[in-house]
Amino acid sequence: MIVQTLRRLAGELRMAVIEGDVAAQVDAEKIAAEGFPVVQIRTGGACHLDAAMTGAALAGLDLGSLDLVFVENIGNLICPAEFDIGADLQVMILSVPEGDDKILKYPLMFSICDALLVNKIDYLEGSDFDLEILSRRARELNPRLQIFELSCKTGSGLETWRRWLDQRASAKRPL
Ligand SMILES: Nc1nc2c(ncn2[C@@H]2O[C@H](COP(=O)(O)OP(=O)(O)OP(=O)(O)O)[C@@H](O)[C@H]2O)c(=O)[nH]1
Ligand SMILES: [Mg+2]
Protein backbone atom coordinates (compact mmCIF):
# COMPACT_ATOMS: atom_id res chain seq x y z
CA MET A 1 0.00 0.00 0.00
CA ILE A 2 2.80 2.41 0.83
CA VAL A 3 4.60 1.69 -2.45
CA GLN A 4 1.41 2.17 -4.48
CA THR A 5 0.66 5.43 -2.63
CA LEU A 6 4.21 6.76 -3.08
CA ARG A 7 4.01 6.11 -6.83
CA ARG A 8 0.70 7.95 -7.13
CA LEU A 9 1.71 10.97 -5.04
CA ALA A 10 5.25 11.37 -6.33
CA GLY A 11 4.36 14.39 -8.49
CA GLU A 12 2.56 16.24 -5.69
CA LEU A 13 4.41 15.66 -2.43
CA ARG A 14 7.97 15.09 -1.29
CA MET A 15 7.82 11.90 0.75
CA ALA A 16 9.86 9.52 2.88
CA VAL A 17 9.11 6.36 4.86
CA ILE A 18 10.00 5.00 8.28
CA GLU A 19 9.57 1.23 8.43
CA GLY A 20 9.05 -0.47 11.78
CA ASP A 21 9.66 -4.19 12.13
CA VAL A 22 10.86 -6.55 14.84
CA ALA A 23 13.66 -7.78 12.55
CA ALA A 24 14.86 -7.55 8.92
CA GLN A 25 14.83 -4.65 6.52
CA VAL A 26 13.00 -6.11 3.54
CA ASP A 27 10.30 -3.43 3.64
CA ALA A 28 12.91 -0.64 3.69
CA GLU A 29 14.61 -2.25 0.69
CA LYS A 30 11.30 -2.16 -1.23
CA ILE A 31 10.92 1.56 -0.51
CA ALA A 32 14.55 2.33 -1.39
CA ALA A 33 14.07 0.49 -4.70
CA GLU A 34 11.31 3.02 -5.49
CA GLY A 35 13.81 5.85 -4.99
CA PHE A 36 12.41 7.35 -1.77
CA PRO A 37 14.35 8.11 1.44
CA VAL A 38 13.69 5.44 4.05
CA VAL A 39 14.77 4.57 7.58
CA GLN A 40 14.26 1.08 8.99
CA ILE A 41 13.59 0.71 12.72
CA ARG A 42 14.24 -2.77 14.08
CA THR A 43 12.72 -3.10 17.54
CA GLY A 44 14.48 -6.38 18.33
CA GLY A 45 11.30 -7.81 19.87
CA ALA A 46 9.10 -4.91 20.93
CA CYS A 47 5.64 -5.21 19.41
CA HIS A 48 5.11 -1.49 18.74
CA LEU A 49 6.99 1.70 17.95
CA ASP A 50 7.22 4.43 20.56
CA ALA A 51 7.86 8.15 20.28
CA ALA A 52 11.57 7.84 21.11
CA MET A 53 12.18 5.30 18.34
CA THR A 54 10.20 7.41 15.89
CA GLY A 55 12.07 10.56 16.93
CA ALA A 56 15.42 8.88 16.39
CA ALA A 57 14.33 7.68 12.95
CA LEU A 58 13.10 11.17 12.00
CA ALA A 59 16.58 12.49 12.81
CA GLY A 60 17.83 10.34 9.93
CA LEU A 61 15.64 12.21 7.42
CA ASP A 62 16.02 15.68 5.90
CA LEU A 63 12.67 16.93 7.20
CA GLY A 64 13.01 20.39 5.66
CA SER A 65 12.76 18.85 2.21
CA LEU A 66 9.76 16.63 2.93
CA ASP A 67 5.99 17.13 2.93
CA LEU A 68 4.89 13.71 4.15
CA VAL A 69 6.53 10.91 6.14
CA PHE A 70 4.85 7.51 6.32
CA VAL A 71 5.57 5.51 9.46
CA GLU A 72 4.70 1.83 9.16
CA ASN A 73 4.22 0.53 12.68
CA ILE A 74 4.61 -3.11 13.73
CA GLY A 75 1.90 -5.24 12.12
CA ASN A 76 -0.43 -6.03 14.97
CA LEU A 77 -3.79 -4.57 15.93
CA ILE A 78 -3.13 -4.17 19.67
CA CYS A 79 0.00 -2.36 20.90
CA PRO A 80 0.39 0.21 18.10
CA ALA A 81 -3.02 1.60 19.12
CA GLU A 82 -1.79 2.27 22.66
CA PHE A 83 1.36 4.31 22.03
CA ASP A 84 1.14 7.77 20.48
CA ILE A 85 4.07 8.36 18.12
CA GLY A 86 2.93 11.87 17.23
CA ALA A 87 1.58 11.18 13.76
CA ASP A 88 -0.85 13.70 12.27
CA LEU A 89 -2.96 10.94 10.78
CA GLN A 90 -3.47 7.37 11.91
CA VAL A 91 -4.28 4.90 9.17
CA MET A 92 -4.90 1.18 9.56
CA ILE A 93 -5.12 -1.57 6.97
CA LEU A 94 -7.56 -4.44 7.32
CA SER A 95 -7.19 -7.03 4.59
CA VAL A 96 -10.17 -9.06 3.39
CA PRO A 97 -8.56 -12.44 4.29
CA GLU A 98 -8.29 -11.26 7.93
CA GLY A 99 -12.09 -11.22 8.28
CA ASP A 100 -14.74 -8.56 8.95
CA ASP A 101 -14.95 -9.33 12.67
CA LYS A 102 -11.59 -7.80 13.65
CA ILE A 103 -13.38 -4.61 14.66
CA LEU A 104 -15.18 -6.58 17.40
CA LYS A 105 -11.93 -8.11 18.67
CA TYR A 106 -9.65 -5.06 18.44
CA PRO A 107 -11.96 -2.05 18.85
CA LEU A 108 -9.28 0.34 20.17
CA MET A 109 -7.33 0.33 16.91
CA PHE A 110 -10.44 1.14 14.88
CA SER A 111 -11.48 3.85 17.33
CA ILE A 112 -8.17 5.79 17.27
CA CYS A 113 -7.76 5.80 13.48
CA ASP A 114 -8.60 8.54 10.99
CA ALA A 115 -8.75 6.17 8.04
CA LEU A 116 -9.43 2.48 7.54
CA LEU A 117 -8.10 0.93 4.36
CA VAL A 118 -9.93 -2.29 3.57
CA ASN A 119 -7.30 -3.85 1.31
CA LYS A 120 -7.23 -6.93 -0.91
CA ILE A 121 -10.80 -6.46 -2.12
CA ASP A 122 -9.72 -8.60 -5.09
CA TYR A 123 -10.29 -11.49 -2.63
CA LEU A 124 -13.94 -10.49 -1.92
CA GLU A 125 -15.38 -12.85 -4.49
CA GLY A 126 -16.03 -16.21 -2.85
CA SER A 127 -15.30 -14.74 0.59
CA ASP A 128 -17.73 -14.28 3.48
CA PHE A 129 -16.27 -10.85 4.29
CA ASP A 130 -19.21 -8.43 4.73
CA LEU A 131 -18.19 -4.86 3.88
CA GLU A 132 -21.58 -3.48 4.90
CA ILE A 133 -21.47 -4.96 8.40
CA LEU A 134 -17.89 -3.76 8.86
CA SER A 135 -18.75 -0.23 7.72
CA ARG A 136 -21.82 -0.07 9.99
CA ARG A 137 -19.84 -1.24 13.02
CA ALA A 138 -17.01 1.15 12.18
CA ARG A 139 -19.36 4.14 11.89
CA GLU A 140 -20.94 3.26 15.26
CA LEU A 141 -17.56 2.93 16.95
CA ASN A 142 -15.81 5.85 15.27
CA PRO A 143 -17.99 8.27 13.30
CA ARG A 144 -14.99 10.23 11.96
CA LEU A 145 -13.34 7.15 10.43
CA GLN A 146 -12.88 7.44 6.65
CA ILE A 147 -13.23 4.05 5.00
CA PHE A 148 -11.54 3.21 1.70
CA GLU A 149 -11.98 -0.07 -0.15
CA LEU A 150 -8.96 -0.93 -2.22
CA SER A 151 -6.82 -3.47 -3.92
CA CYS A 152 -3.14 -2.73 -4.18
CA LYS A 153 -2.99 -5.58 -6.69
CA THR A 154 -5.58 -4.35 -9.21
CA GLY A 155 -5.34 -0.64 -8.30
CA SER A 156 -9.05 -0.45 -7.48
CA GLY A 157 -9.89 2.38 -5.04
CA LEU A 158 -6.34 3.72 -4.94
CA GLU A 159 -7.18 7.00 -6.69
CA THR A 160 -9.88 7.90 -4.12
CA TRP A 161 -7.49 7.14 -1.27
CA ARG A 162 -4.69 9.12 -2.96
CA ARG A 163 -6.90 12.17 -3.36
CA TRP A 164 -7.97 12.13 0.28
CA LEU A 165 -4.42 11.73 1.58
CA ASP A 166 -3.12 14.44 -0.77
CA GLN A 167 -5.76 16.86 0.55
CA ARG A 168 -5.07 16.05 4.18
CA ALA A 169 -1.28 16.28 3.73
CA SER A 170 -1.43 19.47 1.65
CA ALA A 171 -3.61 21.14 4.29
CA LYS A 172 -0.78 20.63 6.78
CA ARG A 173 1.86 22.26 4.58
CA PRO A 174 3.16 25.62 5.77
CA LEU A 175 1.95 28.50 3.57
N1 LIG B 1 -4.13 -10.10 -3.64
C2 LIG B 1 -3.60 -9.02 -3.08
N3 LIG B 1 -2.39 -9.10 -2.47
C4 LIG B 1 -1.90 -7.98 -1.89
C5 LIG B 1 -2.61 -6.74 -1.87
N6 LIG B 1 -1.88 -5.85 -1.19
C7 LIG B 1 -0.76 -6.47 -0.79
N8 LIG B 1 -0.76 -7.77 -1.21
C9 LIG B 1 0.26 -8.79 -0.98
O10 LIG B 1 0.14 -9.21 0.36
C11 LIG B 1 1.42 -9.61 0.87
C12 LIG B 1 1.73 -8.89 2.18
O13 LIG B 1 1.89 -7.51 1.91
P14 LIG B 1 2.71 -6.55 2.86
O15 LIG B 1 2.62 -5.20 2.26
O16 LIG B 1 4.06 -7.13 3.11
O17 LIG B 1 1.83 -6.67 4.16
P18 LIG B 1 2.05 -6.03 5.60
O19 LIG B 1 0.74 -6.12 6.28
O20 LIG B 1 2.69 -4.69 5.47
O21 LIG B 1 3.04 -7.01 6.31
P22 LIG B 1 4.05 -6.67 7.52
O23 LIG B 1 4.88 -5.47 7.10
O24 LIG B 1 4.85 -7.90 7.63
O25 LIG B 1 3.20 -6.37 8.71
C26 LIG B 1 2.42 -9.29 -0.22
O27 LIG B 1 2.69 -10.48 -0.93
C28 LIG B 1 1.68 -8.29 -1.10
O29 LIG B 1 2.11 -8.31 -2.45
C30 LIG B 1 -3.88 -6.70 -2.53
O31 LIG B 1 -4.59 -5.69 -2.55
N32 LIG B 1 -4.33 -7.87 -3.09
MG1 LIG C 1 4.55 -4.12 5.80
Q: What is the pLDDT of residues 31-88, one digit of tens each?
A: 999 999 999 999 999 999 999 999 999 999 999 999 999 999 999 999 999 999 999 9
Query: So where are the chain's domains?
Result: 1-74, 89-162
pTM for the whole thing? 0.96
Q: Which residues of 74-102 are buried (b: 16+ CB within 10 A; e: fewer)?
A: beebeebbeeebeeeebbbbbbbeebbeb
2 Cα to the center of ligand 2, angstroms: 8
Architecture of domain 1-74: 3-Layer(aba) Sandwich (3.40)
Closest CA to 21 of 61, 51, 52, 53: 53
Task: Provide the pLDDT confidence category of residue 172 given band limits of 50, 70 and 90.
Answer: confident
Asked, colleague to colleague, whether 1-74 and 89-162 share their fold, the answer is yes
**89-162 carries CATH number 3.20.20.150:** no
97 Cα to the center of ligand 1, angstroms: 11
Computed on alpha carbons and rounded to an integer, the radius of gyration of the chain in Å comes to 16
Q: Which atom of ligand 1 is nearest to the CA of 93?
A: 19
Closest CA to 163 of 111, 92, 115, 123: 115
